[in-house]
Amino acid sequence: MRRYSRITGTGSYLPPRRLSNAELAAELAENGVETSDEWIVERTGIRFRHFAEPDVCSSDLALHAARSALQAAGVAAHDIDLIIVATSTPDMVFPSTACILQHKLGANGGAAFDVQAVCSGFVYALAVADSMIQTGAANKALVVGAEVFSRILDFKDRTTCVLFGDGAGAVVLEASDTPGILASDLHADGKHVGILCVPGHVSGGAVLGDPLLKMDGQAVFKLAVGVLESAARAVLAKSGKRESDIDWLIPHQANIRIMQSTAKKLRLPMSKVVVTVDQHGNTSAASIPLALDSAVRSGQVKRGDLLMLEGVGGGFTWGAVLLNF
Ligand code: UT7
């Protein structure tokens, strides 16, 4: 009998410090950086973001989200045999945030590693965990997206610092006789490395290059709307489903205008799109599992719904996962 994987529990966590656009704008103004609630809402749809305290790392946010997902799934931490953490803001250069999370959870012994695909990270991690469960390499996986993007923001650059926030989301993915995950589609095009990057690295005890985020927003925007449509069409074709079969589109939460454009291309009304960008900002790899958990807990997403998860971001990377929840 064919093995599939199925999400059996979701969880998420946001650090308590929540800033409105007006509060952020007032803080930025103290450093001579001019922005406004009007600009941020009109261009992005963002109204709030959460920032972690300086001593809080991605693994701390991941721990809260993971515990919540385990509780929802009714799975004990020691039964997890695979942990994948999608993050671009790891606790350390090494070891992986997944290993640190594994120890904090008391889930020691299974495989644990990070996936670095920036804002596509959660979709990449979910597809990898699904493959490992299908082949029998794992039975019960914890797939997490966790970020402290506030650490890599240049608060003198108004074109990027108003966009991002911190947070974590997690799912428990278990082996199942019935799908579960129906299809996934992952891509990257490394020629676009420069349009969204943190171009620094550690060398000889110092950071060489610039350790803060750089983005050509318009170039990312244009690429994103194209690849989100093609990835969605690819997973629909692989699974023999139609656009009209989708109950919920859960895209990476970067900009409401990108989400509206994707929904239009897929002929989906916005009432079928899970939107949390207004509340969370762009939390990179955490945005999709945060949106999923929020929609599950609010009662929007129900068992049996067909979900289209889609990520896009630095690399350039993009991908989609279609699943029966
Ligand atoms: O997570 C990975 C994926 N990332 C994304 O998907 C991000 C994709 N890109 C975007 O979402 C949008 O391109 C942005 C939100 C980043 C920018 O929106 P835009 O509509 O492309 O604005 P723009 O870059 O064309 O800037 C328009 C104007 C400029 O002024 P001028 O040249 O027209 O006078 C900017 O200087 O807005 C100005 N501006 C701002 N004004 C107030 C840029 N940032 C700000 C700001 N506050 N924070």
**What value does the mean pLDDT of the chain take?**
98
| Rg value, the chain, Cα | 19
Half-sphere exposure of 35 (CA within 13 A, CB side): 28
> 43: CA distance to ligand 1 center in Å?
7
pLDDT tens for each residue of 240-292: 999 999 999 999 999 999 999 999 999 999 999 999 999 999 999 999 999 99
pLDDT band at 321 (very low <50, low <70, confident <90, very high): very high
Which one, of 158, 173, 168, 211, lies nearest residue 83 by Cα?
Answer: 173
> 274: CA distance to ligand 1 center in Å?
23
CA dihedral 229, 232, 234, 239 (to 10 degrees): -160
Q: What is the C-alpha to C-alpha distance for residues 1 and 197, in angstroms, rounded to an integer?
A: 44
State residue 159's pLDDT score.
98
Q: Is the pTM of this model over 0.75?
A: yes
- Whole-number percent of the chain with pLDDT over 90: 99
- Residue 119 catalytic? yes
116-131 average pLDDT score: 98
pLDDT band at 319 (very low <50, low <70, confident <90, very high): very high
Mutate to test the pocket of ligand 1, among 43, 47, 157, 290 (most ligand atoms within 8 A of CB): 43
Total Cβ atoms within 10 A of residue 147: 32
Q: Is the CB of 108 under 6 A from ligand 1?
A: no
Q: Is the CB of 192 under 6 A from ligand 1?
A: no
CA dihedral 71, 121, 239, 301 (to 10 degrees): 40
Structural contact between residues 227 and 252, judged by C-beta atoms closer than 8 angstroms: no
Residues 269, 271, 272: CA angle, nearest 5 degrees: 75
Catalytic: which of 50, 57, 99, 119? 119
- Residue 197 catalytic? no
Structural contact between residues 187 and 317, judged by C-beta atoms closer than 8 angstroms: yes
State residue 180's pLDDT score.
96
Q: What is the C-alpha to C-alpha distance for residues 282 and 22, in angstroms, rounded to an integer?
A: 17
- Whole-number percent of the chain with pLDDT over 70: 100
Q: Is the CB of 224 under 6 A from ligand 1?
A: yes
pLDDT tens for each residue of 176-189: 999 999 999 999 99
pLDDT tens for each residue of 152-162: 999 999 999 99
- Evaluate if residue 135 carries a pLDDT over 90: yes
- Measured by CA distance, the residue closest to atom 23 of ligand 1 is 218
Residue 183: what residue type?
Answer: A
Structural contact between residues 111 and 156, judged by C-beta atoms closer than 8 angstroms: no
Catalytic: which of 57, 99, 280, 282? 282
Q: Is the CB of 277 under 6 A from ligand 1?
A: no
- Residue 255 catalytic? no
Structural contact between residues 224 and 189, judged by C-beta atoms closer than 8 angstroms: no
State residue 1's pLDDT score.
81
Mutate to test the pocket of ligand 1, among 38, 221, 257, 316 (most ligand atoms within 8 A of CB): 221
- Measured by CA distance, the residue closest to atom 3 of ligand 1 is 313
Contacts of 207 (CB under 8 A, 6+ apart): 200, 201
Q: Is the CB of 161 under 6 A from ligand 1?
A: no
- Measured by CA distance, the residue closest to atom 38 of ligand 1 is 159
Partners of 173 in beta bridges: 7, 141
State residue 36's pLDDT score.
98
CA 55 to chain centre: 22
Mutate to test the pocket of ligand 1, among 123, 159, 282 (most ligand atoms within 8 A of CB): 159
Whole-angstrom CA distances from 223 to 213, 220, 254, 281 are: 18, 5, 13, 20
CA 222 to chain centre: 20
> 159: CA distance to ligand 1 center in Å?
5
